[in-house]
Structure formats: structure tokens, C-alpha cells
Amino acid sequence: MPLRDRQAFYDALDRFTALRRWASLGFRWTADGRELSWTAGLGDGAVSRVCRLDADGPRIGPAPQTREEGAAPAWRTFPRETYLVPEYPAPEAPSPDGRWFASVRQGEVRLRSAGEEPDRTLTAGATEDIAWDLETADVDPWSPDGKWLLAARMDRRAVWRDVRTRFDHDGTVRVDRPRVQRAGAALDLVQPHLVPTGGGPARSIDLGEMRDHFLRLVGWLPDSSAVVLLRLTRALDRAELFVVDAQDARARTVFIEQCPTFLRLDPIIWGGPTGCDLLPDRRFVWQSERDGWNHLYLGELDAEPGAPLRQLTRGEMSVHDVVRCHGGEVWFRARVDGPRPYDLHLYRVPLAGGAVRQVSEGDGEHACLISPDGSHFVDMTSTPCVAPRSVLRRADGVAVLELDRLDPAPLLGPHWTPPLEVVVTAADGQTALHGVLYRPAGFDPARRYPLLHWVYGGPQMRVAPKAFAPRTDNEILHHALADAGYLVLVLDARGTPQRSKAFQDVVWRSFVDHVVADQAGALRQLMGLHPWIDPQRMGVLGRSWGASFALHLLAAAPDLYRAAACTVPGFDPCGGLIAEPYLGLPQDDPAPYRNAEPWALPQRIDKRARILLMAGTLDSPQQWNLQRMSHLLVEADISHQTLVFAEQEHAFEGPALRFHQRALRDFFDEALA
């Protein structure tokens, strides 16, 4: 790529990165719900705004200048080992009175003082393989009275150890052995405890057999009398809810849910909401797909085990999350099946039962911030083609005032063309699939353009963007490639979440066939509709799970794709736990894993195809995948390139991210010339 074009590409990446930051206005309510503040504008022209809800109606004005009275002690992060990565920076957990920050250091539960008091270690005896863990990112491990922390003792002695090589600047070579939770292999053995923050021995909580189980903290009851825990089988086909008494650490089963395939719990083990929201009166709201759609159910923590839950929502609706429980109602966001099944709206439903009311309006994804008193909410919405707009609404959904409407023109470039929201038919001949087709800057329908098909295909997430501003590095790349003259297709095929249970259950015991058929079939339909797609210049790319599907598509559809780029390739289906809920355990039935493997693909790939493989040296499973696939491609005499990023994990950062993005464009510029 000429230096001038390279700089133009980097400039586009910078513009769309800034668009991601700018689209977050940071709305904040005051505690009394009478004032709303946010930041409007771009860069040096950004201004702070305030909307005051006076008796005469809401009024917008500039925010007053305030003087800081002293900064509060800042929380820090601590390295936390998880099921997917060796370590990630988890936030410390502040105590209810603000005096302490809880974390894990050298395997022990520690309290760091927010003032001048000495730090304290609450546990002892940790080793390299038996250490403590503290969940802090999405829940609070502190009891409301500050007397207890919910922590877990992790026995990792049986977990598989990988090999990772580091090359220091002075020529030193270091080898470490990170733990990797592989499909079918041993998991962390989790033993929950109540750790007294005032000192004393931790109390073990007996939940029964914990081998081959995950554990998540749901939360504490407001009076600190009990903590609620969720235990999940590794196949994610059974969930058990427990209430644990804080005084004697005795656990009682509240509720059990089972499913013949898999429960909607995959994101739970990687972090995020548990799908169970506690109410102040010892009730809980539970999410379940038991009737074919993800709905809300109401249960009681004091009910007898096996007591039925009361269904609150019904119909062809998939609940996304519970936003708030207030005034005898649940405020939640959901998607409704229909012409726009991925639009995300805000709804309300009475806890006592009754009709569901939609309180947001207009196409797109709606992010909502409810006032403390529940009288109003901020409704922020956009689509891939329409820039964000923020409206103040009453609790019943009536619009009160437009707060902000972003003008993104300075960041989009002079010739930006809106993407198309596309709808095609799945390979079953009846299911509608939805995606986004980015169009080049200065798009001219009389011309023909090269197309890059971005694929992920994994069953644990949806990837086609539904909002205007890019939210991930992948979406920033899609915009920049379109700015450089490419069409970019991103589509969610069957087997992905956020629609009906039947839509996702296609992935049960079968990873590849439906993804390849749906994705390739979608591209063929779009080629028939849009003559500006150049059929001679099409490539496919993906990262992680998507890298494997990119190679499957290259082999299965040589009439479509001339080249494939595979970033941090997740070729080995046994390389992580992520496949188990869908394929089962490999020792129970190895056939689904064999069918998902791409190792035989080099013998089927057209000799004229071009392939790029990229991975970081610290991403040991994917580095092994890269090396093995390169060896097989050499044996098959398939032209390919490998690009290795030193000291990079599964997600590239800093200069490596930028270089990787440019390397993708360089590769396709040459391969599709």
C-alpha cells in the first residue's frame, strides 16, 4: 500500500474510533431525579449540558462550573484468572462504607485501605494451584453490612497447562505454563466461602458436588442475612439457585431448571448478568427460554424447592436484560420477532401480572437510563444508518423533550455512504436472516466493488451491528475498509442468540453445516439483488471462531471467495470450554468435534486461493492452531502467509492492532486485485 493510501486508511480508523467514543454521552441523573447532565459536542467544542425538571417543565441549559472538593480514593484492578484467558484486570470491590477495597493478591483475599489504615490479608495458605477468587465485575461480593465477602477457593491442580514462550529484548527466552480449560478436560474445582472481613476463619458453603460445575454470585439480600448463588453444569443444561444463610453458611436449594439442549446461560460463565434479579422482598426475577422464547418469571426465595415460577412475559419476544425493578414493575429490554427482530425496546410489566407495555418507540436499539424516582427516562436510540438521538420521556413513554441529536458528519468523511440493512433467507428456505452491508465512500451503483464477507458464526454472540456508532474494533475496521472502497457484509446466521430458542438450537451437535450454508447462501442472494457486487473480487475474513468459519467457507464455496484472512484462529474445537454446551463432551461423543475440525480443509481448498493467518505469541492455543494449519497448507501446496505478533494476547492492542488492521487491507488489496 502506498504511504499516502496507508495514512488515509489510518485516518479513517482514527475517525471511526473517535465516533465510538463520541457516541457515549454519559448521561447522569442526580440522586433526587430532578436534574440530568451529559456532555454534548465533539473534541474542543464539547460542552456540558444540564436538563432540570422544574415545576414549569424541563429546561436545558449549560452546566454550572463546580469545584472539586477532593477526589475519592480510586479503585484499582487485580489480575483474575478466568475460564477463557489466563488473566484479565478485574476491578477491586469497594466496601459499603468506602473504607476498603477487596481484591485477590498472591492468591489471597486482601483488603486495601482507602485511607491510612494498613492493608489486611483475610485468608492464608494459597499456593500456585490452590488459590482464592473474588467475583467483582458485575456483582458486589460484599454483604451490605460490610461483614462478609463471598469468595471461592479454587483448586486448579488438574487443569491443563499450555506452553507460552516470551522473548525479552535482551535475548532472554522465558517459558510459562498458563492454565487452559479445554473441552472435556478438568475444570477449576470451585468451593464457595463466606470470608469475615473483621478477621477469623472463612466458612465453607456446602452446595454438594462441585466437580464439573461453574459457580456465579447472584447477590446479597438487602439485610445481609443471606447470599444467593447460581450453580451450573459444565454442559449448561442445568441451573440451580441457592440461598445461603450468612450466620451458619447453610445452603438451601430454591429453584432448579433443566433443558434437553442448553440453557441461555453461555454468557454467564464468561461474566455479565446472571439472568436472575433479586427483589428487596425475597423474591427474584428469572430469565428462561422454557417456552421457546426468553421470558421473565417471578419466584420466591422462601418457596419450597420445585415450586412453580409465575410467568410475567409471553409471546414471540426475547428478553435482553432487566433494567430496573421499581414501583411494583419490572423495566426490561427485549426484542420482538417480526420485520425488525433485533430492534431493542424498553418495556414495563407489573410484578403482580398484567399486560406488557412498550415505552420506547422508533426503529433501532434503545439504551435507557431511568431516573431515580422512576418518573422519567432517557431514551437513546440509533440504527446502523441513523445517527444517535436522545429523548427525555415520561415513565409511560410519552416524549417530553429532545435532549441531543448527534451530527456525525465531521467523523464520517466527506463521501460516507450509509450501510444497508439487508434481509435474506436461510438455507432452510423460510427463516429470515438479517445483516448489514457497508458500502464504499462515494458509492456509485453503476460501478462494481470488491466485497469482504466478515463472518463469526459462534453461537454465543450476535455480531451484525444494530447501532450507528461502532462498538468494537471489528466494527471500526468494517467502516475503514468501506472507506477504502470495499463492500463489507456482516450477517447473523441461524445458531446465534437473541432470537427464538429454535433459531439457536440449530447449533445443537452441529457447528459448521448451517453456518456455511446460511452465509454462502446469503451472499449469493445479495449478488442476485445488487449488480454492483463484483463476483470476481470477493474474500472472507474472521477472527477467533470466525477464522475457522472463514476457512470453511473458502473450501465450501470456491466460486465465491478468492481469499481468506484468519485472525487469532480458533480452529481446534477442543481448545476451550466454549464448545461444550453445543457439542457435548468429546469423550461422550467425539463425532460433533470431528465434524467441526478444519484440519482436512487444505485438501479441499482451490490451489489458486490465498490465505492469511495471524496470531499473537501469548495466545498459545491460537498460536498452535496457526502453526498446525500452516503445516497442513504447506503439505497441500496452498499459497498462504503467516503473521505473528510478539507479546500479544487474543485481542491485539496498541500498535499491533493498527498494524493488523492495515495488514488485512494490504492482503485483500493484493489478493483481490
Chain segment 248-298, per-residue pLDDT in tens: 999 999 999 999 999 987 666 677 889 999 999 999 999 999 999 999 999
Mean pLDDT of 597-603: 96
- How many domains does the chain divide into? 2
Q: Which domain holds residue 60?
A: 24-64+312-383+385-408
pLDDT at 146 over 90: yes
The CATH code of the domain that includes 524 is 3.40.50.1820
Convert 42-88 into a string of H (helix), E (strand) and C (coil): CHHHCEEEEEEEECCEEEEEECCCCCCCCCCCCCCEEEECCCCCCCE
Residue 606 lies in a domain: yes
pLDDT at site 305: 83
Model confidence pLDDT, tens digit, residues 428-483 = 999 999 999 999 999 999 999 999 999 999 898 999 999 999 999 999 999 999 99
pLDDT at site 579: 92
Domain identity same for 400 and 438: no
Residue 165 lies in a domain: no
Give the whole-angstrom CA distance, residue 482 versus residue 416: 9
Query: Which of the four pLDDT bands, split at 50, 70 and 90, describes residue 67?
Result: very low
Residue 327 lies in a domain: yes
pLDDT at site 273: 87
Q: Which residues pair with 53 in a beta bridge?
A: 58
Domain identity same for 667 and 565: yes
Q: Which residues pair with 540 in a beta bridge?
A: 453, 564
Give CB contacts under 8 A, 24+ apart, made by 373-379: 373/32, 373/33, 374/324, 374/326, 374/327, 375/33, 376/33, 376/53, 376/400, 377/346, 378/27, 378/36, 378/403, 379/346
Model confidence pLDDT, tens digit, residues 475-515 = 999 999 999 999 999 999 999 999 999 999 999 999 999 99
With CA atoms as reference, report the closest residue to 333 among 342, 346, 343: 346
Look at 63 and 54; give whichever has higher pLDDT.
54
Model confidence pLDDT, tens digit, residues 334-393 = 999 999 999 999 999 999 999 999 999 999 999 999 999 999 999 999 999 999 999 999
Give the whole-angstrom CA distance, residue 384 versus residue 420: 8
Give CA torsion, residues 439, 542, 214, 231, to 10 deg.
30
Domain identity same for 561 and 591: yes
Q: Which residues pair with 252 in a beta bridge?
A: 243
Residue 355 lies in a domain: yes
Q: Which residues pair with 391 in a beta bridge?
A: 379, 402
Grid cell in block for residue 453: 464477507
Mean pLDDT of 183-210: 96
Residue pair 600/552 in contact (Cβ under 8 Å)? The answer is no
Give CB contacts under 8 A, 24+ apart, made by 634-638: 635/602, 636/602, 636/603, 636/605, 637/607, 638/602, 638/605, 638/607, 638/609, 638/611
Grid cell in block for residue 321: 436484560
Residue 642 lies in a domain: yes
Domain identity same for 516 and 636: yes
pLDDT at 7 over 70: yes
Residue 300 half-sphere exposure, CB side, CA atoms within 13 Å? 6
Q: E-assigned strands of 558-639?
A: 563-567, 610-616
Domain identity same for 588 and 479: yes
Residue 345 lies in a domain: yes
Q: Which residues pair with 287 in a beta bridge?
A: 296
pLDDT at site 226: 98
Residue pair 591/631 in contact (Cβ under 8 Å)? The answer is no
Radius of gyration of the chain (CA): 26
Domain identity same for 355 and 464: no
> What's 364's DSSP letter?
S
